[in-house]
Structure 1
Amino acid sequence: MSVRIIVPHAPSPAKFQDPVRTAKGQPRAQVAPQGLQTLWINTGTLCNITCAGCYIESSPRNDALAYISPAEVAGFLDEATFRGEPLEEVGFTGGEPFMNPGLLAMLADVLARPGLSALVLTNAMQPMRRYADGLMKLQARFGSARLVLRVSLDHHDAAIHDLERGEGSFAKALDGLVWLARQGFTVHVAGRLGFGREGEAAMRAGYAALFAEHSIAVEAQDPVALMLFPEMDEGAEVPEISEACWGILGKAPGSVMCASSRMVVKRRGAARPAVIACTLLPYDTRFELGATLAEAARPVALNHPHCARFCVLGGAACSR
């Protein structure tokens, strides 16, 4: 997932402080777990590039979240099975997941388990290409239907994409995307709505033209196959979400992604991984729920601007 974070000024200090009540004293909205359908694995914050506005501050030097191991991931998958969770999808994000040398083993473990699919968020650049043979072997063993690689292309225009990810990065990412498509992998693309000043319809048309030019089998009008994420401005004013908001907005708590997903991270120096509520909040300890899926199966207070802007008001989700 690629989400730009902009911090021009600090939000009001009275907001998003109390997990129980909003700044206006209203009961804060909470989201109760409704069964784990998507388990996110953060493979580590190391990345081969440094983006201008990475929400997780990934870079070639940031190892605040360390490489998680295949054995550690297997432990959470085993726990999900033991608990009878309705797990359908395991997503791998980073950093760049292909920087983690254990990624292919983790993918093989997921795909070998009945009913599970795997989703990898990647920039499709050199780290992924190093594992071309391994990816082909996974495809030969398990097929392409249950393995999706979502490639980050912030915009269909190379110059705009490169402003965020560095000169020449668009060409390298597109080359990786084309390779995946030609090899028959199931590919999706992640873009950035804030980069599309022309509007969403025109932006999707631009992607469609790019996909057609390079024979990439991605339906640009499909909001899952081409996910256009909203911009995340931590400094902009955003309303807090109270319990009354569900009725006002006509939205059910179960539609918010923390109702059915959790993310596993391994902090640098930690003895074991931790389970957190949301992919967007890897460093906020208020959203660390425990060391096991059982401990993490509890309500989440929507006590962060991202909860409002991205999930409730923006209606976005990171999984398929």
Structure 2
Amino acid sequence: MKDNAPQIVNIGKFQNKLVTADGQTRASVALTNPETLWFNTGTLCNIECVNCYIESSPTNDALVYISADEVRDYLDQIEDRNWPVREIGFTGGEPFMNPDMIEMARAALERGYEVLILTNAMRPMMRQKMREGLTELQRDYAGKLTLRVSLDHYRAGLHDKERGKGSFDKTVEGMKWLRDGGFRMAVAGRTVWGEDDEKSRQGYATLFNHHGFGIDAHDPARTVLFPEMDETVEVPEITTACWGILNKSPASVMCASARMVVKRKGAEKPAVLACTLLPYEPEFEMGHTLAEAEADVHLNHPHCAKFCVLGGASCSG
């Protein structure tokens, strides 16, 4: 999947999962509070974004559709392992491309979990079957379901630069439908535009207020602004000493509280990954079960440093 990816510039770094390039002990993170289990519903998407970290597109099926029965198996494993999970997240690709999306969400909601679905709110979500299913879920589990809509910028021109001409208007149309149905919405944007945090959030606030979307632009959990995941940028490796230097706890890093389940094309069964951001890195595949996924994660990738430890980002709600 990475044949055409830019070459990593961190020469000599991120080669040994136990030690850094200068011989120091690499930092690792224990699964101390597994509160979110993510399911990748498949990499197929109705659009192809310029900088999609997972390379989703209308033709990329490297991660195939996961099924409702496979999701239920992992929900059983959560109970068997006594994980204190509060949230089940669904990401893609575009989750509403998966025909089992409504059934999978209901399976999690029936067991009392909060459900977070990441979507572009475009045509796949707006199909009649999906709208009917979402309406039923909202009726039965109001307050437990959140849809996080990908809105790369509050202005149409910059959003469309990433996602294609006309995509902003289609996404806003979907958000209006969610608004009218009383759904709880959040938004995921990008920080690549050179704006400071306050300017970005004020821009989103103006948009949300104009449409009555009821999203708090100044709440980082409701309006998540993700740093760009550029593997060509030089980043430092994270050593065990960094926790004290940065005054940061390993428990605050995403892999201390989350795992992701994927199903690879041609695989007999799904696999559990340490990180939602590294779907194609073999080192971060932990096995097929949640028991295997309880192992420590060594921070042996540029994303670990830039996105999580230094950027402080998290995919969870």
Structure 1 partner of 2:118 = 121
- Correspondence for 2:248: 251
Equivalence for 2:204: 207
Contact 1:97–1:120 (Cα < 8 Å) also in 2: yes
Gaps of 5+ in 2: none
Q: Is 1:137 paired with 2:124?
A: no
Give the partner amino acid of 2:281: D
Distance in 2 of aligned mates of 1:277 and 1:237:
23
SS at match of 1:194: coil
SS at match of 1:232: coil
2: distance between equivalents of 1:265 and 1:146?
23
In structure 1, C-alpha distance between the alignment counterparts of 2:27 and 2:8, rounded to whole Å: 23
Partner of 2:296: 299
**Secondary structure of the corresponding residue to residue 181 of structure 1:** helix
Deviations 1:126-147 (A, max 9, x none): 000111111101111222x110
Percent identity among equivalent residues? 57
Q: Do 1:31 and 1:300's aligned partners in 2 also have CA atoms closer than 8 Å? A: yes
Listed as ranges, the gaps of 5+ residues in structure 1 are 1-5
Specify the SS of the correspondent of 1:233.
Answer: coil
Which residue in the other structure is 1:3 paired with? none
What do you get for the CA RMSD once the two structures are aligned?
1.1
Q: CA deviation at 1:13?
A: 3.0
Post-superposition offset of 1:159: 0.3
The number of equivalent residue pairs is 312
Q: Contact between 2:260 and 2:276, CA under 8 Å: does it hold in 1?
A: yes
Q: Is the 2:63–2:265 contact (alpha carbons within 8 Å) kept by the matching residues of 1?
A: yes
Deviation at 1:10, TM superposition (A): 2.8
Aligned to 1:63, which of 45, 61, 64?
61
Deviations 1:92-126 (A, max 9, x none): 00000000000100010100003x10000000000
1:53-97, CA deviations, whole angstroms, 9 ceiling, x for partnerless residues?
100000000000000000001000101011111010000000000
Kept after mapping to 2: 8 A contact 1:208/1:220 = yes
- Which string of whole-angstrom CA distances, capped at 9 and with x for unpartnered residues, describes residues 155-213 of structure 1? 00000000000000000001101110111000000100112x23211111111111111
The answer on whether the counterparts of 1:7 and 1:233 sit within 8 Å (CA) in structure 2 is: no
The alpha-carbon deviation at position 7 of structure 1 amounts to 6.3
Say if 2:95 is the partner of 1:97: yes
Asked whether 1:112 is paired with 2:92, we answer no
Q: State the one-letter code of the partner of 2:240.
A: E
The SS at the match of 2:291 is helix
* 1:168-317 aligned within 5 A: 168-195=166-193, 197-317=194-314
Shift of 1:12: 2.8
Q: Deviation above 3 Å: which 4+ runs of structure 1?
A: 6-9
Could you say what secondary structure the match of 2:224 adopts? strand
- Distance in 1 (CA, whole Å) between partners of 2:200 and 2:281 is 33
Distance 2:271 2:256 in 1: 18
Q: Retained in 2: the 8 A contact 1:266–1:274?
A: yes
